[in-house]
């Protein structure tokens, strides 16, 4: 198995944490699209959005997806990567897409522990809990549309990892 594995899900679903663990376990390389964007542009998500608007950020994000999709790689995508249909199609056609799913309340609790506002700017201006509920409600169908598999991440990291490994080896 040397395909590309794409992790999709909302902010704080654990795409980076689980992605690194998974890449390590599979001896794959790991890329976080938001971090890649930061490294290549020297700008945070918030700075790109401020200068270029959300549309400019989304266009850059789509390009990073294409640039980083390589065999034997785990890619943690930005939470909004699934908003563009061409991104969903690209991931489905070029690898295995795993949706890391969690209830809004779990995501909100994680975000409150580590808000990292520069890399996770507010999308709605609402409270964290309200924002997560709204964003999740809006994006849930898109995450499901993109995903080959859904994994509940409201559990221990080792359980999440073993579930993903089991999916990949079937």
User: How many Cβ atoms are within 10 Å of 32's Cβ, its own excluded?
Assistant: 22
pTM: 0.90
Q: Which domains does the chain have, with CATH numbers?
A: 4-169 (3.40.50.300)
Query: pLDDT tens track of the chain, all 170 residues?
Result: 679 999 999 988 999 999 999 999 999 999 999 899 999 999 988 899 999 999 999 999 999 999 999 999 999 999 889 999 999 999 999 999 999 999 988 888 887 776 554 455 566 677 777 878 888 889 999 999 999 999 999 999 999 999 999 999 98
14 torsion bin: left (phi>0), alpha (psi -120 to 50), beta (else): left
27 torsion bin: left (phi>0), alpha (psi -120 to 50), beta (else): left
Cα→Cα distances 147→65, 88, 91, 118, Å? 15, 8, 9, 27
Collapsing DSSP to helix, strand or coil, 54 comes out as: helix
């Amino acid at each position: 198995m040397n395909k590309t594995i794409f992790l999709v899900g909302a902010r704080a679903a654990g795409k980076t944490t689980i992605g690194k663990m998974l890449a390590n376990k599979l001896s794959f390389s790991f890329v976080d699209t938001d971090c890649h964007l930061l490294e290549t542009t020297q700008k945070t998500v918030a700075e790109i959005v401020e200068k270029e608007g959300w549309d400019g950020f989304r266009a850059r994000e789509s390009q990073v997806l294409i640039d980083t999709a390589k065999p034997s790689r785990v890619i943690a995508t930005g939470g909004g990567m699934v908003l563009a249909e061409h991104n969903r199609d690209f991931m489905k056609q070029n690898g295995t897409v795993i949706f890391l799913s969690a209830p809004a309340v779990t995501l909100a609790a994680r975000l409150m522990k580590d808000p990292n506002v520069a890399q996770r700017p507010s999308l709605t201006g609402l409270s964290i809990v309200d924002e997560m509920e709204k964003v999740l409600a809006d994006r849930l169908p898109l995450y499901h549309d993109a995903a080959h598999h859904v994994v509940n991440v409201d559990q221990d990291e080792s359980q999440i990892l073993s579930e993903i490994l089991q999916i990949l080896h079937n």
